[in-house]
Amino acid sequence: MKLTVYLAGEIHTNWREELQKKAEKKQLPLTFVAPQTNHDRSDDIGEDILGKQPGKLYKDAAASDINNFRTQVMLQKADVVIALFGEQYRQWNTAMDASSAITWNKPTIIIRPESLIHPLKELSNKANVTVETVDQALDVLSYIYE
């Protein structure tokens, strides 16, 4: 049973590569897809394709059109969603992706540090599983194949 896993969230650390490598070592038949993790490219994609916009609001609107398009394509292909929240940013798009996924009945794992238990409590409650480390998320994925 091959599965496609969408890795939402935090783009400033290399947790995706870490997860992917460990999954390969375990020979799990998983394909990982992810949002644009190059922050500048993600912010500029609207202007990169559509040209200069008349201000920050419009630049952001153009970029989010295309980022949401990309995410929607991937989320619909995904069998499982993992969303990682880091301590630094607001990451409302991560909360949005996780919530869309859950509403579409995609089995969802949240990874978040202990410090975020309280602000993420409602979202954790809706997700299937909440863990604190990438290794724990991998353990949950492995468990599917036991």
CB of 95 to its own copies, least distance (A): 4
Nearer to its own copies, 15 or 141 (CB): 141
Residues 85-124 contacting its own copies, CB under 8 A: 85, 89-93, 95-100, 102-105, 107, 109, 117-124
What is each CA distance from 32 to 24, 52, 63, 83, 122, in whole angstroms?
11, 33, 23, 13, 26
57 sits near its own copies (criterion: CB under 8 A) = yes
Plot region of 51 (φ>0 → left; ψ -120 to 50 → alpha; else → beta): left
Distance (Å, rounded) from C-alpha 95 to C-alpha 77?
19
Distance (Å, rounded) from C-alpha 40 to C-alpha 50?
16
Map tokens 């468990």 to a residue: 143
14 sits near its own copies (criterion: CB under 8 A) = no
45 sits near its own copies (criterion: CB under 8 A) = yes
CB of 21 to its own copies, least distance (A): 19
40 sits near its own copies (criterion: CB under 8 A) = no
Number of residues in contact with its own copies under rule CB under 8 A: 73
